[in-house]
Structure 1
Amino acid sequence: MSEPYRPSWRKPAGMFAILALITAWAVMVASLSGVIGALPVWAQAPLYVFLGLIWIWVLPLRRLMLWMETGRWRG
Structure 2
Amino acid sequence: MRTEPTWRIPFGVLLLIIALTAYALVIARYVPELIGGWHAAFQTVVYLILGLVWLLPLKRFLLWMESGSSK
TM-score by length of 2: 0.83
Runs of at least 5 residues in structure 1 that lack an aligned partner in the other structure: none
Which residue number corresponds to residue 60 of structure 2? 63
Q: Which runs of 4+ in 1 moved over 4 A?
A: none
Which residue number corresponds to residue 45 of structure 1? 44
Select the structure of larger CA radius of gyration.
Answer: 1
- 2:18 corresponds to 1:10: no
Query: Structure 1: how far apart are the matches of 2:45 and 2:21?
Result: 21
Aligned length: 68
Runs of at least 5 residues in structure 2 that lack an aligned partner in the other structure: none
- The answer as to whether partners of 1:67 and 1:73 remain within 8 angstroms in 2 is yes
CA RMSD in angstroms comes to 1.3
